[in-house]
Amino acid sequence: MSFLIEYIKHPRTIGAVAPSGNHLAEKMIEPIDFKSAEVIVEYGSGTGSFTKELVVHRKPETVLILIEQNKNFCHELKKTFCNQPNIHVINGSAENVNLYLKKCGFKHADYIVSGLPFTSLPAEVSENILESTRKAIGSKGRFITFQYSLVKRKFFERYFHVSGLLHEFINLPPAYVLVMRNIRESEIK
Ligand SMILES: C[S@@+](CC[C@H](N)C(=O)[O-])C[C@H]1O[C@@H](n2cnc3c(N)ncnc32)[C@H](O)[C@@H]1O
């Protein structure tokens, strides 16, 4: 219910009337190597659909940085995850990911998992976020996001190479999960 209320108040930034389902959450974390990940960032955690999976699968020493712009969701995330070690809940914008990483003592993230509604966010905000994300994942990290269609794929490909594409049918609506990495210099045409 809190999700629907926040959607009515901020349709463009919330971008969905309900939280993502468990199947999509499982699909979102499938590309993550939890054995080696030292720091995982999540954008737009909302009420924690993906966060719960990240918390269950990560090693306790893996740092999780949750960046959520909505104050009420942040409050809820803090309440739900305050008993867990190495979780930072940040009330801010994904545009500033590099600042938050630095404050937590990291230069790069191993994985950035995004629940952001890129189709409804203002273009300038999306562009700022993707530019910051390029820097944040460095040469080794992966950026994982879901989309209900592939209309934005070309937009993502201006910044990243799509190294994996998964499909989750058991979600309303069915969703794609895109796994991206930085374009290597040798691949720049
Ligand atoms: C579609 S909801 C996804 C929530 C959750 N990850 C899920 O899948 O159920 C999008 C979330 O992104 C957050 N958001 C939108 N713009 C943001 C930004 N610039 N930085 C961080 N979070 C943002 C919204 O407040 C909202 O919680």
pLDDT digits over 107-145, tens only?
999 999 999 999 999 999 999 999 999 999 999 999 999
69 lines ligand 1 (CB under 6 A): yes
Between residues 3 and 38, the one the model is more confident about: 38
Q: What is the pTM of this model?
A: 0.96
**Measured from the CB, is residue 93 less than 6 Å from ligand 1?**
yes
Kind and range of the H or E run holding 100: helix 97-103
Ligand 1 atom 4: the closest Cα is on which residue? 46
pLDDT per residue as tens digits for the range 66-121: 999 999 999 999 999 989 999 999 999 999 999 999 999 999 999 999 999 999 99
Residue nearest to atom 24 of ligand 1 (CA): 14
Kind and range of the H or E element at 148? none
User: Which residue's CA is minimally distant from atom 19 of ligand 1?
Assistant: 93
Q: What is the pLDDT of residues 5-46, one digit of tens each?
A: 999 999 999 988 889 999 999 999 999 999 999 999 999 999
pLDDT, residue 188, reads: 62
Nearest CA, atom 25, ligand 1: 70
Q: Is the shortest distance between the CB of 14 and ligand 1 below 6 Å?
A: yes
| 115 close to ligand 1 (CB < 6 Angstrom) | yes
Q: Which CATH architecture has domain 20-187?
A: 3-Layer(aba) Sandwich (3.40)
- Output the DSSP codes for 10-71: -HHHH--SSPPPHHHHHHHHTT--TTT-SEEEEE--TTTHHHHHHHHHS-TTSEEEEEE--H
Q: Tell whether the torsion through CA atoms of 116, 117, 123 and 125 is positive or negative.
A: negative
Best substitution site from 5, 12, 43 to test ligand 1's pocket, by max atoms within 8 Å of Cβ? 43
Structural contact between residues 182 and 138, judged by C-beta atoms closer than 8 angstroms: yes
Domain boundaries, the chain: 20-187
Report d(CA 35, CA 52) in Å as an integer. Answer: 17
Task: Give distance in angstroms: CA of 13 to centre of ligand 1.
Answer: 7
pLDDT in tens, 137-167: 999 999 999 999 999 999 999 999 999 999 9
> Confidence class of residue 185 from pLDDT cuts 50, 70 and 90?
low
Q: Has residue 181 got a pLDDT over 90?
A: yes
* pLDDT higher than threshold 70 for residue 53: yes
Q: What distance in angstroms lies between residue 92's CA and the mean position of ligand 1's atoms? A: 11
Top mutation candidate among 4, 65, 70 for ligand 1, by most atoms within 8 Å of CB? 70
